[in-house]
Amino acid sequence: MTKATITQKPDGTLTFELTLSSQTIADTYQQVLSEVGKTAEIKGFRPGKAPLSMVEATSDKSKLYSHVLEHLLPPAYSKVIHEHQLTPLIEPKVTPKGMEIGKDWTLAVEVATAPTVDLGSYKQYVKTALKKLKNLPAGKAGDAKPDDKLNLIFDALLAGSKLVVSPLLIQEEAKSALSRLAKQLTELKLTVADYAKSLKKTPEELISQYKKSAETNLKLEFILRTINPDRKKALDILSAL
Protein backbone atom coordinates (compact mmCIF):
# COMPACT_ATOMS: atom_id res chain seq x y z
CA MET A 1 0.00 0.00 0.00
CA THR A 2 1.19 3.49 -0.83
CA LYS A 3 0.37 6.52 1.33
CA ALA A 4 1.13 10.14 0.52
CA THR A 5 0.55 13.61 1.98
CA ILE A 6 1.28 16.44 -0.45
CA THR A 7 3.03 19.65 0.59
CA GLN A 8 3.22 22.42 -2.00
CA LYS A 9 5.46 25.50 -1.98
CA PRO A 10 4.68 28.77 -3.83
CA ASP A 11 7.53 27.97 -6.25
CA GLY A 12 5.61 24.90 -7.44
CA THR A 13 7.79 22.35 -5.66
CA LEU A 14 5.73 19.46 -4.34
CA THR A 15 7.02 17.16 -1.63
CA PHE A 16 5.51 13.95 -0.37
CA GLU A 17 6.48 10.61 1.08
CA LEU A 18 5.74 7.22 -0.40
CA THR A 19 5.41 4.27 1.94
CA LEU A 20 5.80 0.84 0.36
CA SER A 21 4.56 -1.99 2.57
CA SER A 22 6.90 -4.76 3.64
CA GLN A 23 4.47 -7.36 2.24
CA THR A 24 4.43 -5.72 -1.20
CA ILE A 25 8.23 -5.52 -1.11
CA ALA A 26 8.51 -9.21 -0.17
CA ASP A 27 6.10 -10.28 -2.93
CA THR A 28 7.92 -8.18 -5.53
CA TYR A 29 11.27 -9.52 -4.33
CA GLN A 30 10.08 -13.04 -5.12
CA GLN A 31 8.95 -11.91 -8.58
CA VAL A 32 12.34 -10.31 -9.22
CA LEU A 33 14.12 -13.42 -8.00
CA SER A 34 12.04 -15.55 -10.38
CA GLU A 35 12.90 -13.24 -13.27
CA VAL A 36 16.62 -13.45 -12.46
CA GLY A 37 16.33 -17.21 -12.07
CA LYS A 38 15.08 -17.61 -15.64
CA THR A 39 18.47 -16.61 -17.04
CA ALA A 40 20.80 -17.42 -14.12
CA GLU A 41 23.79 -19.62 -14.97
CA ILE A 42 24.93 -21.69 -11.99
CA LYS A 43 27.43 -24.52 -12.22
CA GLY A 44 25.75 -27.92 -12.25
CA PHE A 45 22.48 -26.61 -13.69
CA ARG A 46 21.24 -25.69 -17.11
CA PRO A 47 20.68 -21.93 -17.61
CA GLY A 48 17.48 -20.91 -15.85
CA LYS A 49 17.01 -24.27 -14.10
CA ALA A 50 18.79 -23.67 -10.78
CA PRO A 51 16.69 -23.61 -7.56
CA LEU A 52 15.70 -20.09 -6.51
CA SER A 53 17.43 -20.60 -3.17
CA MET A 54 20.74 -21.03 -5.01
CA VAL A 55 19.98 -18.12 -7.34
CA GLU A 56 19.38 -15.94 -4.30
CA ALA A 57 22.54 -17.15 -2.55
CA THR A 58 24.71 -16.30 -5.56
CA SER A 59 23.04 -12.97 -6.39
CA ASP A 60 23.94 -9.47 -5.24
CA LYS A 61 21.13 -8.63 -2.78
CA SER A 62 21.54 -4.89 -3.29
CA LYS A 63 20.93 -5.34 -7.03
CA LEU A 64 17.88 -7.49 -6.37
CA TYR A 65 16.38 -4.85 -4.10
CA SER A 66 17.24 -2.14 -6.64
CA HIS A 67 15.15 -4.07 -9.15
CA VAL A 68 12.36 -4.31 -6.56
CA LEU A 69 12.38 -0.52 -6.24
CA GLU A 70 12.37 -0.15 -10.04
CA HIS A 71 9.23 -2.30 -10.12
CA LEU A 72 7.39 -0.54 -7.29
CA LEU A 73 8.35 3.13 -7.57
CA PRO A 74 6.84 4.05 -11.00
CA PRO A 75 3.30 2.77 -10.28
CA ALA A 76 3.35 4.13 -6.71
CA TYR A 77 4.47 7.54 -7.97
CA SER A 78 1.95 7.54 -10.84
CA LYS A 79 -0.86 6.67 -8.43
CA VAL A 80 -0.16 9.76 -6.31
CA ILE A 81 0.15 11.97 -9.40
CA HIS A 82 -3.21 10.82 -10.78
CA GLU A 83 -5.05 10.79 -7.45
CA HIS A 84 -4.04 14.38 -6.70
CA GLN A 85 -4.26 15.51 -10.36
CA LEU A 86 -0.72 16.87 -10.32
CA THR A 87 1.18 18.13 -13.38
CA PRO A 88 4.91 17.55 -12.86
CA LEU A 89 7.18 19.29 -15.37
CA ILE A 90 10.26 17.10 -14.90
CA GLU A 91 11.18 13.71 -13.50
CA PRO A 92 10.90 13.46 -9.69
CA LYS A 93 13.80 13.60 -7.28
CA VAL A 94 13.55 10.53 -5.03
CA THR A 95 15.50 10.16 -1.79
CA PRO A 96 15.31 6.94 0.30
CA LYS A 97 14.52 7.68 3.95
CA GLY A 98 14.20 4.14 5.23
CA MET A 99 14.79 0.96 3.27
CA GLU A 100 15.46 -1.68 5.89
CA ILE A 101 14.83 -5.24 4.74
CA GLY A 102 11.74 -6.73 6.35
CA LYS A 103 10.16 -3.35 7.08
CA ASP A 104 8.12 -0.77 5.17
CA TRP A 105 10.16 1.47 2.87
CA THR A 106 9.81 5.24 3.03
CA LEU A 107 10.84 7.44 0.11
CA ALA A 108 10.91 11.24 0.01
CA VAL A 109 9.76 12.60 -3.35
CA GLU A 110 10.22 16.10 -4.76
CA VAL A 111 8.44 17.20 -7.92
CA ALA A 112 8.50 20.51 -9.78
CA THR A 113 5.28 22.02 -11.10
CA ALA A 114 4.43 25.49 -12.42
CA PRO A 115 4.78 28.23 -9.79
CA THR A 116 2.13 30.70 -8.70
CA VAL A 117 2.48 33.88 -10.79
CA ASP A 118 1.26 37.30 -9.67
CA LEU A 119 1.33 39.56 -12.73
CA GLY A 120 0.18 42.66 -10.90
CA SER A 121 -0.95 45.50 -13.20
CA TYR A 122 1.18 44.16 -16.03
CA LYS A 123 -0.51 46.14 -18.81
CA GLN A 124 0.17 49.37 -16.97
CA TYR A 125 3.85 48.77 -16.21
CA VAL A 126 4.52 47.39 -19.70
CA LYS A 127 2.93 50.51 -21.21
CA THR A 128 5.12 52.67 -18.97
CA ALA A 129 8.22 50.79 -20.13
CA LEU A 130 7.29 51.14 -23.80
CA LYS A 131 6.97 54.91 -23.43
CA LYS A 132 10.77 54.95 -23.35
CA LEU A 133 10.73 53.99 -27.03
CA LYS A 134 7.96 56.42 -27.93
CA ASN A 135 9.72 59.28 -26.16
CA LEU A 136 13.00 58.83 -28.02
CA PRO A 137 14.12 61.78 -30.19
CA ALA A 138 12.85 61.51 -33.77
CA GLY A 139 16.25 60.49 -35.13
CA LYS A 140 16.79 57.71 -32.59
CA ALA A 141 13.20 56.42 -32.60
CA GLY A 142 13.68 55.12 -36.12
CA ASP A 143 16.76 53.20 -35.02
CA ALA A 144 14.83 51.14 -32.46
CA LYS A 145 14.77 47.43 -33.33
CA PRO A 146 12.04 44.84 -32.58
CA ASP A 147 14.39 43.24 -30.06
CA ASP A 148 14.66 46.55 -28.21
CA LYS A 149 10.90 46.55 -27.70
CA LEU A 150 10.86 42.92 -26.60
CA ASN A 151 13.70 43.49 -24.16
CA LEU A 152 11.84 46.42 -22.60
CA ILE A 153 8.71 44.28 -22.28
CA PHE A 154 10.62 41.36 -20.77
CA ASP A 155 12.49 43.57 -18.31
CA ALA A 156 9.22 45.18 -17.23
CA LEU A 157 7.53 41.80 -16.76
CA LEU A 158 10.43 40.43 -14.71
CA ALA A 159 10.51 43.54 -12.52
CA GLY A 160 6.74 43.81 -12.07
CA SER A 161 5.71 40.17 -11.67
CA LYS A 162 6.04 38.16 -8.50
CA LEU A 163 7.03 34.50 -8.73
CA VAL A 164 9.63 32.05 -7.49
CA VAL A 165 10.72 29.13 -9.67
CA SER A 166 11.42 25.70 -8.22
CA PRO A 167 15.17 25.06 -7.74
CA LEU A 168 14.56 21.64 -9.32
CA LEU A 169 13.47 23.29 -12.57
CA ILE A 170 16.34 25.77 -12.53
CA GLN A 171 18.84 22.98 -12.00
CA GLU A 172 17.35 20.87 -14.80
CA GLU A 173 17.23 23.82 -17.22
CA ALA A 174 20.83 24.82 -16.45
CA LYS A 175 21.96 21.20 -16.74
CA SER A 176 20.40 20.90 -20.20
CA ALA A 177 21.99 24.16 -21.36
CA LEU A 178 25.40 23.11 -20.04
CA SER A 179 25.07 19.72 -21.74
CA ARG A 180 24.41 21.44 -25.06
CA LEU A 181 27.40 23.70 -24.46
CA ALA A 182 29.65 20.75 -23.60
CA LYS A 183 28.58 18.96 -26.80
CA GLN A 184 29.37 22.00 -28.93
CA LEU A 185 32.72 22.46 -27.21
CA THR A 186 33.61 18.79 -27.69
CA GLU A 187 33.20 19.25 -31.44
CA LEU A 188 35.73 22.08 -31.17
CA LYS A 189 37.98 19.90 -29.00
CA LEU A 190 37.50 22.20 -26.03
CA THR A 191 36.30 21.61 -22.48
CA VAL A 192 33.90 23.63 -20.35
CA ALA A 193 36.91 24.63 -18.24
CA ASP A 194 38.66 25.94 -21.38
CA TYR A 195 35.58 27.93 -22.34
CA ALA A 196 35.21 29.36 -18.83
CA LYS A 197 38.86 30.38 -18.86
CA SER A 198 38.40 32.18 -22.19
CA LEU A 199 35.67 34.23 -20.50
CA LYS A 200 37.95 34.86 -17.52
CA LYS A 201 35.63 32.85 -15.30
CA THR A 202 36.01 29.72 -13.19
CA PRO A 203 33.85 26.69 -14.11
CA GLU A 204 31.85 27.37 -10.94
CA GLU A 205 31.19 30.97 -12.02
CA LEU A 206 30.10 29.77 -15.46
CA ILE A 207 27.68 27.27 -13.90
CA SER A 208 26.30 30.00 -11.64
CA GLN A 209 25.80 32.23 -14.69
CA TYR A 210 23.91 29.46 -16.47
CA LYS A 211 21.68 28.94 -13.43
CA LYS A 212 20.81 32.64 -13.31
CA SER A 213 20.05 32.59 -17.03
CA ALA A 214 17.91 29.47 -16.59
CA GLU A 215 15.96 31.14 -13.78
CA THR A 216 15.31 34.25 -15.89
CA ASN A 217 14.20 32.21 -18.91
CA LEU A 218 11.88 30.08 -16.80
CA LYS A 219 10.35 33.11 -15.11
CA LEU A 220 9.61 34.69 -18.47
CA GLU A 221 8.11 31.46 -19.75
CA PHE A 222 5.73 31.17 -16.78
CA ILE A 223 4.82 34.86 -16.94
CA LEU A 224 3.94 34.61 -20.64
CA ARG A 225 1.94 31.41 -20.06
CA THR A 226 -0.07 33.20 -17.38
CA ILE A 227 -0.91 36.02 -19.79
CA ASN A 228 -1.87 33.48 -22.47
CA PRO A 229 -1.04 29.75 -22.82
CA ASP A 230 -0.09 30.45 -26.44
CA ARG A 231 3.29 32.21 -26.35
CA LYS A 232 2.72 34.00 -29.69
CA LYS A 233 -0.64 35.33 -28.55
CA ALA A 234 0.90 36.49 -25.27
CA LEU A 235 3.59 38.40 -27.17
CA ASP A 236 0.97 39.88 -29.52
CA ILE A 237 -1.03 41.11 -26.51
CA LEU A 238 2.06 42.73 -25.02
CA SER A 239 3.30 44.25 -28.27
CA ALA A 240 -0.08 45.89 -28.86
CA LEU A 241 0.02 47.82 -25.57
What pLDDT band is residue 165 in, cutting at 50, 70 and 90? Answer: very high
The reply to whether 63 and 161 lie within a common domain is no
Phi, psi dihedral angles at 4 (to 5 degrees): -155, 135
* pLDDT bracket for residue 138 (50, 70, 90): low
214 with 158, same domain: the answer is: yes
The per-residue pLDDT for 208 is 96
Residue 213 in domain: yes
175: pLDDT strictly greater than 60: yes
* 12 within a domain of the structure (yes/no): yes
Q: Which of 29-33, 141-145, 147-151 has the highest mean pLDDT?
A: 29-33
Q: Provide the pLDDT for residue 1.
A: 47
99 and 48 in a single domain? The answer is yes
pLDDT average, residue stretch 16-23: 94
Same domain, 164 and 105: no
Q: Is the pLDDT of residue 123 over 60?
A: yes
Q: In whole numbers, what is the pLDDT of the chain averaged over residues?
A: 91
Q: Could you give the strand order of the β-sheet that contains 13-20, starting from the edge strand earlier in sequence? A: 7-8, 13-20, 105-112, 93-98
Identify whether 1 is part of a domain: no
Q: Indicate the range of 132-141, 181-190, 232-241 predicted with least confidence.
A: 132-141
Domain boundary among 80, 112, 144: 112
Q: Is the pLDDT of residue 9 over 50?
A: yes
Task: Identify the domain boundary among 49, 78, 112.
Answer: 112
| Shared-domain flag, residues 46 and 141 | no
Of 60, 85, 112, the position where a domain reaches its end is 112
Q: What confidence tens digit (pLDDT) does each residue in 58-85 have?
A: 889 999 999 999 999 999 999 999 999 9
Domain presence at residue 117: no
Q: Are residues 44 and 148 both part of a single domain?
A: no
How many domains does the chain contain in total? 2
Task: Note whether 73 and 126 are same-domain residues.
Answer: no
Residues 102 and 133 in one domain: no
Residue 136 has pLDDT above 70, yes or no: no
Indicate whether 21 and 128 sit together in one domain.
no
What range does the domain containing 49 cover?
Answer: 7-112
| pLDDT tens digits, one per residue of 87-110 | 999 999 999 999 999 999 999 999
- Looking from the CA of 133 toward its CB, the CA atoms found within 13 Å total 18
d(CA 241, CA 231): 16
Does pTM surpass 0.85? no
% of the chain residues with pLDDT over 90: 76
Section 108-122 average pLDDT = 95
Residues 56, 144, single domain; the answer is no
Q: Which of 78-87, 103-112, 123-132, 153-162 has the lowest mean pLDDT?
A: 123-132
Per cent of the chain over pLDDT 70 is 94
pLDDT at 18 over 50: yes
**CATH code where residue 79 lies:** 3.30.70.1050
Query: Same domain for 231 and 133?
Result: yes
With bands split at pLDDT 50, 70 and 90, how would you rate the model's confidence at 23? very high
Q: Are 137 and 168 within one domain?
A: yes
- For residue 2, tell me if it sits in a domain: no
